[in-house]
Amino acid sequence: MCKGHHIISRIRHQYLNHDKCMTMLASAGIYLVLDVNSPLANHHLNRYEPWTSYNSFYFENVFKIVQQFSFYNNTLGFLAGNEVINDPISASVSAPYIKAVIRDTKNYININSPRPIPVGYSAADDLNYRIPLAKYLECADNNLMESVDFYGVNSYQWCGDQTFYSSGYNILVDDYKGYSKPVFFSEYGCNEVLPRNFDEVPALYTNDMIDVFNGGLVYEFTQEANNYGLVEILPNGDVKLLRDFLQLKHKFDSVPELDYYFIVESMKENAKEIQMRIKQSQSIVPRCEDSYPNLDISRGVPDTIVDIMIDTGVNVEPGRFVHLDKSELQTKSVFYQPNGEVFNTLYEIDVVVDFEIDNDNKNDKKRSQKSSTYSPHDQNDKTQAGEVQKQVQHEDPEPTPQKKPQKNEKDHEGANEHDEDKPNVIVETFHKVTDSVKNFWASIFT
C-alpha cells in the first residue's frame, strides 16, 4: 500500500518511482497536493538567508518533482512553500523569494507540463502575517505568474470545546472574505486539548464557512512524536486506528448535505466582485502595494536564474499510471481499533475510478506532453464545486473522476433501491449555474 504521512493531502517526495502509489490513489478517487520542498539539503528555501538557497541546485529538485508528478492527472496542485515565514527574521527577508519560487514554478509548468496545474503556498496562521502575507502573495504588477493560484492556511486555533465564535473562526472567515484565490485549511486539528473531538468540521463544511474556505486537510495521518496522528503504524506494519481517527470519521459522516443554493449564490457574488475588479484595475488580481505590515518587500522579487532550465526542461522519467494486480490493491496488514480489537473492514482499495492504461510509447516525452492518455478521469465530467467557488488563474486542473454509484447506508435507510437514479433538482440547478460561471472564467483567462 502507499506509504506517507499525507497521502490524502500532502506528501514529501523522494526520487523513487511513485507510479503504483499514484495509481492506487487515482483508483480510489484521491487527489494529491504536493509540496515541492523537503528538509533535505538543496530541497528548500533557507528562511533566514533565502538568497543562499535560491539557486539552480534547488530548482533542479523542484522541477524534477513538478515534471514527474505533472503526468499523474490526480495531482491537484503544488505547494511552493510551507510556513517559510514564521517569525520576524524570516518575515524580513523571505517574502520576495517565495514569490519568485511561485513564479518560476508556474513558468516551468506552463512550458513543460502536459496540463495546467495550480501553484500555491501553505502559511502559518500567525496574526502578525495573516493578512499581509496573503495579500502580498495574491498581488501582481506586471507579471501575473508571481501571484499564487490558491492559498493554504495552517490553522490550530479551534482547541477543545469551542464554537465558531469563541474559536475566532468568524474572524478568520472575515479576514479572507473577498480573497481572489481559493483558500483552504492546508492543516488543522489542534491537539492542545485531548482527546480531539474535531468540532470544527461541521463549521468548515456548512454555511458559516463554505463561501470562503474550500474545506481542509487534517494534520496528520500517522502518529509521530508530536502526537497529531490519526493512526499508529506498529513495528510489524500493522495499523492501529487511534481514537482521533474514529472521531474524525464520525464528524465527517455527520456533516449535512451542502447547501447548493447558498453555494450558487456565493459563486454569483464572487463572479460579480471579480468582474468589478477587472473593470476597475484591468487585472484579474490586485495590484501590489508599496509595503505590507510586518513584511519587508523592499528588495523586490529577484529575477529568475533558471530561465534556461525552464526552457529546456529537466531530465526525469514522467509519472504514469500502471496496471495493478488485485493482490497489489490488497494489504496483509491488520487494522486494530483503539481498544485492540481487530477492525472489521475491507482489506483492499475500494476502486471507484475505472480507467484504461496505455503502455505504448512510455518514453515518448513529446506524445506524453501533448496527451492526457493516463487520465483516470471522464473527460465529460467537468463540474467540481470546490474548484469554481473562486477560480484560479489556470483552468480546472483535470475533470473530476467519474465515480461508481456509492450507496450511503445511513442516507438510504428505508429508501427504494432505485431512488438514487432519480434526478436531484438542486444538484441539477447547481450544475447549470456552475457551467455558466465556468464559461465566464474561460472568457477571462483565455
| Catalytically annotated residues | 83, 187
- Burial code (b: 16+ CB inside 10 Å, e: under 16) for 365-378 equals beebbeeebbbbbe
SS3 for the chain is CCCCCCCCCCCCCCCCCCHHHHHHHHHCCCCEEEECCCCCCCCCCCCCCHHHHCCHHHHHHHHHHHHHHHCCCCEEEEEEEECCCCCHHHHCCCHHHHHHHHHHHHHHHHHHCCCCCCEEEEEECCCCCHHHHHHHHHCCCCCHHHCCCEEEEEECCCCCCCCCCCCCHHHHHHHHCCCCCCEEEEEECCCCCCCCCCCHHHHHCCCCCCCCEEEEEECCCECCCCCCCCEEECCCCCEEECHHHHHHHHHHHCCCCCCHHHHHHHHHHHHHHHHHHHHHHCCCCCCCCCCECCECCCCCCCCCCCHHHHHHCCCCCCCCCCCCCHHHHECCCCEECCCCCECCCCCECCCCCCCCCCCCCCCCHHHHHHCCCCCCCCCCCCCCHHHHCCCCCCCCCCCCCCCCCCCCCCCCCCCCCCHHHCCCHHHHHHHHHHHHHHHHHHHHHC
Is omega for the bond preceding 138 within 30 degrees of 0, making it cis?
Answer: no
Pairing mode, if any, of strands 239-241 and 231-233?
A: antiparallel
Its sign, for the CA torsion 356, 361, 363, 366, is: negative
Nearest to 84 by CA among 93, 75, 71: 93
- Cell representation of residue 71: 503526468
